[in-house]
Amino acid sequence: MPGETGPTGGPAFTDVLGVCVAWDPCVVRTDRGTVTIPLAEIVSGKPVPPRPSQRLRAGFGECEAHGSEPWVEAFDAALDRVHVEVGSDTSRAYADAGWRVVEEVGFHLAGVAKLRRGWPHGLDDLGLAGTAYVSRDWVEVRPGETPLSELVEYAAEQGATTLWLHHHADEIPGFLLHHRCRELVSD
């Protein structure tokens, strides 16, 4: 800080943690707002990885609420197609009522920032393609034609921080299998 003395008798320093959104003057977007710093006052800077996603601990209902398919937490005979958590009481209730499984997939989560800068060989090497549906700061990827790298860039441009996809494989590099889902239809 200009004109202030630090604990060692030299100039005082302070840290600013955030995203640099402009240069000259440097503007940093922090959790508490934006900070403008004249370039002459900057001593050093470095990239910092994003915080771990709180979404990894999100429950089934919270995750599925951001999807394009209907999901239910209780039996509802008025519906003709539902999306439920594998092994849940709701799933068992539908099975007992004679509903049949159309598809069973995994709900996979990944941070958009991590995917953008942390994938060593290129996202398209995974062979995943789809269509993106943005819901607030989430983006859902369903099967489609667009390469995953383009979907991740699109998601980032829309302000999405968490990408999730339904996929048949249990393990997808870079993604966490959060839970298994079942789509059911009435007969």
Q: Give the Å distances, CA to CA, from 130 to 66, 94, 133.
A: 17, 29, 10
Mean per-residue pLDDT of the chain: 83
Torsional sign, CA 93, 95, 100, 105? positive
User: What CA–CA distance (Å, rounded) separates 153 from 102?
Assistant: 31
- Whether the CB-CB separation of 165 and 140 falls below 8 Å is answered with yes
CB of 152 within 8 A of CB of 116?
yes
Rounded CA gap, 59 and 185, in Å?
23
- Strand pairing report for 33-37 and 100-111: unpaired
Residues 6+ apart with CB under 8 A from 135: 66, 67
**In this structure, what token pair is assigned to residue 120?**
């060593």
Instruction: Enter the pTM of the model.
Output: 0.61
Among 30-34, 54-58, 61-65, 162-166, the range with the most confident prediction by mean pLDDT is 162-166
What is the model's pLDDT at position 96?
94
Section 7-19 average pLDDT: 84
